[in-house]
Chain A
Amino acid sequence: LAKTTQPISMDSYEGQEVNITCSHNNIATNDYITWYQQFPSQGPRFIIQGYKTKVTNEVASLFIPADRKSSTLSLPRVSLSDTAVYYCLVGDKNAGNMLTFGGGTRLMVKP
């Protein structure tokens, strides 16, 4: 599975847009990019997934450049409740049963 690199932590303020970038230089042709969110004392929760260009849902947007060597999770107008750890995972379509969660990015949203 492709190795990913994310910032260890980020701070933001309520109402701001937050962008978390994940590097995956050795991503393979068939790999998908998936993001999970984990609140304190809870299990991770799927946020968004993409293969190329841009994906948007009710929670976030995912931007993937043409070379796919990185991806950016964008959270619009964050609130205190968005304080969590965000994990970037990369794997091919059959890798769902061997997901590798790295250390993730700890996002702290301040009032």
Chain B
Amino acid sequence: NAGVTQTPKFRVLKTGQSMTLLCAQDMNHEYMYWYRQDPGMGLRLIHYSVGEGTTAKGEVPDGYNVSRLKKQNFLLGLESAAPSQTSVYFCASSSTGHINQPQHFGDGTRLSIL
């Protein structure tokens, strides 16, 4: 039972490079989310999706783009990486947006921008 799988687990980029983080879930969930977590801090919502083909901005969307072409996948793109985007990125999914439906998280992608 895989749950939420994030690829890659680690990555080092140079300033200005681009990359895409992949999130895949096998629970048939409608909602998917991307968060970032800086050292010693809580999670901040970047973007989320309420269903296939939809995306919406979260708390800190600048510098990121997302796509949800397939229900099971949610992609996070960095167009031109900056050192301020060094962080741990978590993907999550839930069956609905109702607060009593818990979010299921992946184990994170650790991204360093030099």
Nearest A residue to B4, CB-CB: A43
Say yes or no: is B99 at the interface (Cβ < 8 Å to chain A). yes
By a CB distance below 8 angstroms, the chain B residues around A99 are: 45, 99, 103
Expressed in whole angstroms, the Cα–Cα distance for A45 and B48 within the complex equals 18
Tally of chain A residues near chain B (CB < 8 A): 24
Tally of chain B residues near chain A (CB < 8 A): 30
CB distance from B39 to the nearest CB of A (A): 11
By a CB distance below 8 angstroms, the chain B residues around A44 are: 43, 90, 103, 105
Nearest B residue to A32, CB-CB: B99
In the complex where A46-B102, A97-B48, A97-B97 touch, is A103 in contact with B92 (Cβ < 8 A)?
no
Nearest A residue to B50, CB-CB: A97
Expressed in whole angstroms, the Cα–Cα distance for A104 and B40 within the complex equals 9
What would 4 more interface pairs be, CB under 8 Å, given A41-B107, A96-B101?
A41-B108, A94-B97, A98-B48, A99-B99
Expressed in whole angstroms, the Cα–Cα distance for A91 and B92 within the complex equals 18
Interface bits B89-114 vs A (CB < 8 Å: 1, else 0)? 01010101111111111111000000
Say yes or no: is A102 at the interface (Cβ < 8 Å to chain B). yes
**Chain B interface residues toward A at CB < 8 A:** 4, 31, 33, 35, 40-45, 48, 50, 58-59, 90, 92, 94, 96-108
Sample of 13 A–B contacts (CB below 8 Å): A34-B99, A34-B102, A46-B103, A49-B102, A93-B98, A94-B99, A96-B94, A96-B97, A97-B94, A101-B35, A103-B40, A103-B41, A103-B42
Say yes or no: is A63 at the interface (Cβ < 8 Å to chain B). no
Which of A95, A97, A98, A101 gathers the greatest number of chain B CB atoms within 10 Å?
A97
